[in-house]
Copies of this chain bind each other. A is one copy, B any other.
Amino acid sequence: MSLRLDRVTVHLGGRDVVRDVSLDVGDREVLAVLGPSGSGKTTVLRVIAGLQAPTSGRVEIDGRDVTAVPTHARGVGMMFQDHALFPHRDVGGNVAFGMRMARASRSATRSRVAEVLDLVGLSGFESRAVDGLSGGERQRVALARALAPRPSLLLLDEPLGSLDRALRDRLLDELAGLLRSAGVTAVHVTHDQAEAFATGERIAVVLDGRLAQVGPPPELWRRPVDLDVARVVGPVGAVPVEVRDGRVVAPWGPLPARTLASPPTADGPATLLVRPDAVELCLDGAEALGIGGTVARRSFRGDHVQLHVAVPTPEGAVDLPVVEHDRLDRDVGERVTLRLRDRSVIVVDPATS
């Protein structure tokens, strides 16, 4: 099942919550939608599901204009961000609902319910009241409910948001496998890059109602169109630089061309995006092209330590996120030297904000 949004705009509460979004999702593609809170992700899903009529624009499924088709006739499955479980039905009744609507047989329903509950780690929960479920359990029931009728277009709104990492990883794996094997087209809204990276063949970044960039994960990571997109995709430091005659001049000096992921397009002021994987901590403070800075913050992340290194610039210090793998135990306040890796930093137009 393929999906197309054509210049969809949604006006709500006095403003355009979704603005002129056009989007193609191919048959059996899994598209991840990533965007900050309030950017319009849920609204886009609601438009696709037919729960929200677009103010303008069209929705097509398999090439057919469905803008005026009511939700239940669109054949989409949706998992709601706030779950929206039926309080008057037990877990089994919630999960079976879609099957019943599709007039599946009793025994087929029962076995499918058991199957999806098992998938989400809630085997045997059939007769539990939804009232007594924990937050994560509710989320899983909501997911199971959306999966049970095997919709061919699946809309997932933060399906794993309140699950622990281990469960989330397992479900992500299973979900990815499931989607692929069942040949489902899916739109997966998430605020978590790792999740988007894991399921999305392509990721659509939504910013303030607009579709800012769509592409496969590495492209978004390495070639974000602007600072805002870069930020949504992962930690990034932003350094004001000047491009002169195609050469990038940073506050600490000109950059060697080989460190750039791609050559700058135009002269003038620009912003240099520095991902944590673009810099290395030098073991001793005296490298030729080293960037001097001070550890501003440091946080233990288990398998690594995340440092924020303040690098002075004429307009004040900028924070560069740095991953410290090697247990160097740099402490806050310590001076460090950073080195840019080859083909790692990105030059974009100056941040407007």
Say if the beta carbon of A334 comes within 8 Å of chain B. no
Say if the beta carbon of A240 comes within 8 Å of chain B. no
Q: List A residues 45-86 near B (Cβ within 8 Å).
A: 81-82
Which of A161, A233, A303 neighbours the largest number of chain B CB atoms within 10 Å of its CB?
A303
Chain B: which residue is nearest A137 at the CB level?
B38
Residue among B137, B168, B218, B300 making CB contact with A300, cutoff 8 Å: B218
Number of residues on chain A facing chain B (CB within 8 A)? 59
Contact A37-B164, Cβ < 8 Å, known A42-B135, A302-B234, A302-B275: yes
Contact indicator A302/B38 (Cβ below 8 Å): no
Contact indicator B302/A167 (Cβ below 8 Å): no
Mark the stretch among A1-9, A192-200, A251-259 that contacts chain B.
A192-200
Say if the beta carbon of A291 comes within 8 Å of chain B. no
Contact indicator B166/A36 (Cβ below 8 Å): yes
Q: List A residues 92-134 near B (Cβ within 8 Å).
A: 121, 128, 132, 134
Please give, as numbers and ranges, the residues of chain B lying within 8 Å of A158 by CB-CB distance: 135, 162
Please give, as numbers and ranges, the residues of chain B lying within 8 Å of A168 by CB-CB distance: 191
Measured CB to CB, the closest approach of chain B to A212, in angstroms, equals 13
Q: List A residues 228-247 near B (Cβ within 8 Å).
A: 231-235
Measured CB to CB, the closest approach of chain B to A300, in angstroms, equals 5
| Cα distance A138–B297 in the bound complex, in angstroms | 29
Say if the beta carbon of A140 comes within 8 Å of chain B. yes
Contact indicator B136/A166 (Cβ below 8 Å): no
Measured CB to CB, the closest approach of chain B to A49, in angstroms, equals 16
Please give, as numbers and ranges, the residues of chain B lying within 8 Å of A139 by CB-CB distance: 37
Residue among B193, B276, B301 making CB contact with A194, cutoff 8 Å: B301
Please give, as numbers and ranges, the residues of chain B lying within 8 Å of A267 by CB-CB distance: none
Q: List A residues 297-340 near B (Cβ within 8 Å).
A: 297, 299-304, 323, 325
Q: List A residues 132-174 near B (Cβ within 8 Å).
A: 132, 134-140, 157-158, 161-169, 173
Known: A194-B301, A277-B303. 6 other contacts (CB 8 A): A37-B140, A81-B135, A82-B138, A197-B302, A221-B300, A234-B302
